[in-house]
Amino acid sequence: MTTETPTLDTPPDVSDDRPDTLAMPKPQLTCYALEKSYRKADHEVPVLRGVDLEVREGEFLSIVGQSGSGKSTLLHLMGLLDAPDVGEIRLGDQRIDDLPERTLDELRNHVFGFVFQFYHLLPELSLLENVLSPLMIRLSLLGYWRKRKELREQAREMIAKVGLDHRLSHKPRELSGGEMQRAAIARALVSKPRILLADEPTGNLDGETGREIMDLLADLNDREKLTIVMVTHDAALAREADRTLELVKGRLVGQAAAA
């Protein structure tokens, strides 16, 4: 008896349809009993200690915690950037953390968008080229060449959404911190992901610019119905999400809905 390797040929059952009633939407992304440890010299350091989490489609969820609490590690596991030692992650009804590496790459490129504290823009590329990069990675050189006009227009539209259409040809060194984070958000969204994972998206910005980035994320969640999971050490920012969880020493200890 042979066992088929799961692939994206039969994608996870995650419907884009919105319920007509006030019934609670089904979980879009679920974490079951996640544990993760890292080795430091001869010692094993536990980071996550049995995390259970459900993320509902279209919600804005924040996870707050101090430095070292494990919040970034949890986000990386959710986005398949790392694998749990114990537990599993499901997209809809399908387990995804144990899929082949090629399939994980496809999920990271199609389903998840990532925004990090330090932007990670490529310094030698223009703003437009940085935002285009996820679309270029998907395709062969020939495939990109055939679709280049369509893809460049798609990137321009996303750049306009974050208010940077006047900066298309600028390099990252010519942008402010807030503009670089907006560019990183445009890059994360150009592939039209279902879930945006944001790791301290305002952590490297001043208060006013951080406020602008939070307003942009809230607007994307409200208008586009984009599912957002944000981790932050800032409890005041965290409370602006639909729901807030707190991670303490690798465990989720409480939650609250926004007023």
**Domain segments of the chain as ranges:** 27-111+196-202+227-259
Tell me the C-alpha distance between 231 and 211, whole Å. Answer: 15
Has domain 27-111+196-202+227-259 been given CATH number 3.40.50.300? yes
The torsion angles phi and psi of 159, rounded to 5 degrees, stand at -65, -40
Higher per-residue pLDDT: 198 or 142:
198
pLDDT of residue 19: 46
pLDDT, tens digit (0-9, with 9 covering 90-100), for 94-143? 999 999 999 999 999 999 999 988 889 999 999 999 999 998 888 777 88
- Calculate the average pLDDT of the chain: 87
pLDDT of residue 165: 93
Please report the pLDDT score of residue 203 as a whole number: 85
